[in-house]
Amino acid sequence: MRYVNADSIFPEELLNEIQKYMNGGLVYVPKSKGLRKKLG
């Protein structure tokens, strides 16, 4: 897993909305269900 600065990938409006719920810190965004690897 690599970390990416939210400023570089999210539009400003979306980033402002996310900051209403979490201002600073780390947020994990999982892959879509169709892109996940199966275990075992």
Render pLDDT for 1-40 as a digit per residue (tens, 0 to 9). Answer: 788 899 999 999 999 999 999 988 888 888 887 766 677 7
pLDDT score at 14: 95
- DSSP class of 9: H
pLDDT score at 35: 65
Contact indicator for 17, 10 with CB cutoff of 8 Å: no
pLDDT score at 28: 86
How far is it, in rounded angstroms, from Cα 19 to Cα 6?
Answer: 11
pLDDT score at 23: 87
